Amino acid sequence: MGNAVYRDIIQAMVMVDLDHLILAVPLGYRYLSGGKTVVSKDYENTITVADALYSHTRIKMPYSLTIIGY
């Protein structure tokens, strides 16, 4: 919910000699909101962000990426 995936991807861009980034992301995160259980689909959201960044022609990502869902 804090958009940590964006932070992790940007921080990795400034790391020295990084050729490959591996992110471990939960499949879902359950929390209560207004007394109801809500599931945040963190893995799916991370895949969507990565697809957008890596398929775009304006940006050349300096490393390859593996996303592991747990």
Domain ranges of the chain: 4-69
Mean pLDDT, the chain, rounded, equals 91
**In this structure, what token pair is assigned to residue 66?**
């593996």
Predicted TM-score (pTM) of the model is 0.80
* Predicted local distance difference test score (pLDDT) of residue 19: 96
Per-position DSSP letters for 15-47, written without gaps between them: STT--EEEEEE-S-EEEEETTEEEEE-HHHHHH
* Predicted local distance difference test score (pLDDT) of residue 50: 94
**Is the pLDDT confidence value at 25 over 90?**
yes
**Is the pLDDT confidence value at 51 over 70?**
yes
